[in-house]
Structure 1
Amino acid sequence: MDTRVKYSTPGLSAEARDKLRPGIAPLTGVGATVKQLTALAVMLVPFAGFLLALQRVIAGTFSTTDVVLFAVMYFLHMGGITMGFHRYLAHKTFNTSRFFEGLLLICGSMAAQGPIMFWVTTHRRHHTYSDQPGDPHSPNLYGKSLGAKIKGLWYAHMPWMLAKDISGWNFFAPDILANRKLFFYHRSYALWIVLGLVIPAVIGGLVGGSLSAAFNGFLFGGLARIFLANQAAWCVGSVSHMIGSKAFKTDDKSANNWTVAILTMGEGLQNNHHAFPGSYRHGIKWWEPDLSGWILTALGALGVVWDLRFPDEKTIRKLSLDRS
């Protein structure tokens, strides 16, 4: 029996549809154009803001407030993605209150990585087809030559967002689709992006007392933050699936890359994560750089989050490549 989710795909041949993997549908016409234009905006607009911020750094026309705004907004951005979108929504590794759930999802939406239905379905699809055909951003599908590896890294970093396909909502995220409280954050996604740009602009203007200071806040805490934080986040799907160490047996090329992990609050520990996707901590060893895992542990002790899932020692030993 064919278990694939069926989608309306006007203009696509039956032969082409049959090549699709379960849960993936092609986009044609206006749908494909809208997706590609949106992806280009996400890539290019923050890049332009980053270049303007860099110009101000070189010229020395920035302030301590701008640096603090960048750092604080970077933390909220990355925390919202790794703890909210990823470990809470996509993998259900812990439970929390409605208030903290909202805080996480608003911060994650400020990252401009796509609304929650796009983010969760894309990520669950990545785990379903990790480093196989159907993985939306694998760097390992182009061959073994140096040129093929460079092409794969580049594609997995950003151009994958231009692909003319879509991850099925009913297939990969029926739980979120059925939850009207969660779906609210999907529908209000654009509002939170704007809020993530307005907040640093307002704070910068109030502290600096000028429109120029407000614009700097907008650049450093807004656009430049989005650009640099997302460059780090996209390294998780590209660099951390090709470069790094492996501690556990998995069916893919996921690797632990500490540089990426430090920049992404633990997300670069991809081999650990793919071995134990249901774990709230990506750092299996306490000393592995997983700031999000450490924060969730502390929040668990305070009662802000609960039902924190973590593999037992037997499960860890079973998958460990180090049997010494």
Structure 2
Amino acid sequence: MTTTSPSPVRPPGKPMFAGRSTLAETLTIRTFLVVPFLVLLAAVPLMWGWGVSWLDLTMAATLYVVSCLGITVGYHRYFTHAAFKARRPLRIALAIAGGLAMQGPVTIWVADHRRHHAFADREGDPHSPWLFGTSPVAVARGFWHAHMGWLLERDKTNIERFAPDLAADRDIRAVDRLFPLWAAVSLLSPALLGGLITMSWWGVLTGFLWAGLARMAFQHHVTWSVNSICHMIGDRPFASRDRSANFWPLAILSMGESWHNTHHADPTSARHGVLRGQIDISARTIWLFEKLGWVWNVRWPTPQRLAKLARQH
């Protein structure tokens, strides 16, 4: 992956970019952002109750869980924050599973997220909702920007600065190059399975619409809600240098990512839901991997660490 060299002199707080996306890249990104969402809006009122089957919902749920954990456990807690160490087969599997969520290759995703933490809710943060002010219009503009507007822009995060470890990893470079394949598998495998199991073109169509496009759109908006909602409303039990918040209604759908204040207070922790009653499916998955011997050196939170963070609040 080619990027521009970092500038030796940079004003404090200014982001460093790798350049601008090509027109083709921009059009592709916008297509995959907008089209599935439009399909979701159209499919629910038109086909719910008669145009969706239990097979469609089962395939959608399965792909949702696998790809969502690929993002939360793989892209986020492992590749971005090194919350644990993993054996090579699992490392590759997590990168592929994250690719099924169609949120971009792992190297680009990680670079964007590391930049988010470097400049959280300040100039340079790629998706803060607080970059335009606090007036009602500014807040509305900020919500749109944080939720998905930033993805429509053509500036790219500098890989050499924010993800040099992944750019130098041969396995990850190979997974990144094959990202179009993971995207195709994610979108087309439900159509293929739906057609083969039902032996009908209708099964192909509904599998593609519900377990392919609609599932992908729904998953995108859950992830983007962590960027937007979880930096605007919710509880803040721990000290952090930004406006990240814990938003419980998203806890299950986001696999524990919506305990966002906790995460920003202690970014390398393998568990985000650290308080009583906070469900964190991703942390439980990491725990299972640890029991199986697939991961080690897991950075679990300790009572002493949590007490220190709480006292600083």
Common fold by TM > 0.5 = yes
Partner SS for 1:166 = strand
1:140 maps to a residue whose letter is: W
Gaps of 5+ in 1: 8-13
2:135 maps to a residue whose letter is: S
User: 1 CA distance for matches of 2:311 and 2:12?
Assistant: 35
- Number of equivalent positions: 309
Match of 2:148 among 148, 158, 162: 158
Superposed counterparts of 1:261-280, under 5 Å: 261-280=251-270
Match of 1:259 among 228, 249, 254: 249
- Contact 2:13–2:119 (8 Å) recurs in 1: no
**Which string of whole-angstrom CA distances, capped at 9 and with x for unpartnered residues, describes residues 73-95 of structure 1?**
11112111101111111111112
Give the C-alpha shift of residue 123 in structure 1: 0.3
Residue 316 of structure 1 corresponds to 306
- Cα gap change, 1:301/1:157 in structure 2, threshold over 3 Å: closer, same or farther? same
- Cα gap change, 1:32/1:291 in structure 2, threshold over 3 Å: closer, same or farther? same
Give the C-alpha shift of residue 59 in structure 1: 5.8
1:155 maps to a residue whose letter is: H
Superposed counterparts of 1:108-257, under 5 Å: 108-257=98-247
- Contact 1:143–1:149 (8 Å) recurs in 2: yes
**Which string of whole-angstrom CA distances, capped at 9 and with x for unpartnered residues, describes residues 6-39 of structure 1?**
29xxxxxx9xx86982533552xxx353443232
- Contact 1:247–1:322 (8 Å) recurs in 2: no
- Contact 1:56–1:62 (8 Å) recurs in 2: no
Superposed counterparts of 1:71-110, under 5 Å: 71-110=61-100
- Cα gap change, 1:19/1:248 in structure 2, threshold over 3 Å: closer, same or farther? closer
Partner SS for 2:193 = helix
- Contact 1:36–1:161 (8 Å) recurs in 2: no
* Corresponding position: 1:300 with 2:290: yes
CA RMSD for the aligned pairs? 2.2
**Which string of whole-angstrom CA distances, capped at 9 and with x for unpartnered residues, describes residues 165-190 of structure 1?**
22111100111111111111111111
Give the C-alpha shift of residue 265 in structure 1: 0.4
User: 2 CA distance for matches of 1:123 and 1:35?
Assistant: 20
- Contact 1:240–1:260 (8 Å) recurs in 2: no
Give the C-alpha shift of residue 99 in structure 1: 2.0
Gaps of 5+ in 2: none
**Which string of whole-angstrom CA distances, capped at 9 and with x for unpartnered residues, describes residues 267-287 of structure 1?**
111100001110111111253
| Overall identity of the aligned pairs, in % | 38
1:314 maps to a residue whose letter is: Q
Partner SS for 2:156 = strand
